[in-house]
Amino acid sequence: MKLFLSLLCVSIIASCGQTDKGVGDTGAQCSTDTAKRELGVGESSELAAFMRHMDKSMAGVKKAMKLGQKPTAKLDFTSILTASPTKEGITEEPDYVSYAQVFLRHVEALNHTPADSFAHQHNLVINSCIACHNSFCTGPIARIKKHLVNPDNIRVAH
């Protein structure tokens, strides 16, 4: 029993380590910009500013859902394809464009999703933020994950 418990502890610690892997990663294309901004030097790129706008919007959607409301404003995140990034050319890379298109399809679906599946569709949007971030910008992943909801705990009114 003792052995079982200690093995359980070890595996929990190991899996926690894995989920935190992206935190503080400085190798990703996005972190220079964030670091600069925190130091108060340099300008934020258009894309970084737009990302923060989306981050706030999705926090707002989660907040509304927790109050049992379905936000009425439609989300328009198409600038993810056109805003100029910190790292020149990154938004023209085929992988970036594919991730962005999948993401935009989920956002468009969320705009038309009925109340009973809204929380589930919201999570699909957040997971498609994370999918792109896994390849292009691991730093903010822990922060983005906070927007996920447990659909079992959400009752959104029609």
Binding site for ligand HEC (CB under 6 A): 29-30, 33-34, 37, 45, 47-48, 51-52, 54-55, 58, 80, 85-86, 90, 96, 99-100, 103, 128-129, 132-133, 136-137, 140, 143-144
Provide the minimum distance between the beta carbon of 7 and ligand HEC in the complex, in angstroms, as a whole number.
36
Of the candidates 150, 126, 85, the one whose C-alpha atom is nearest the C-alpha of residue 93 is 85
**CA separation, residue 148 to residues 46, 86, 132 (Å):** 25, 27, 16
**Taking phi first (over 0 means left), then psi (-120 to 50 degrees means alpha), and beta for anything else, what does residue 109 get?**
alpha
In this structure, the number of other CB atoms found within 10 A of the CB of residue 121 comes to 17
CA 119 to chain centre: 15
Provide the minimum distance between the beta carbon of 129 and ligand HEC in the complex, in angstroms, as a whole number.
3
The residue behind tokens 């009973």 is 116
Of the pair 74, 143, the CB lying nearest ligand HEC is at 143
Of the pair 34, 113, the CB lying nearest ligand HEC is at 34
Of the candidates 64, 58, 136, the one whose C-alpha atom is nearest the C-alpha of residue 100 is 136
Of the candidates 121, 34, 129, the one whose C-alpha atom is nearest the C-alpha of residue 86 is 34
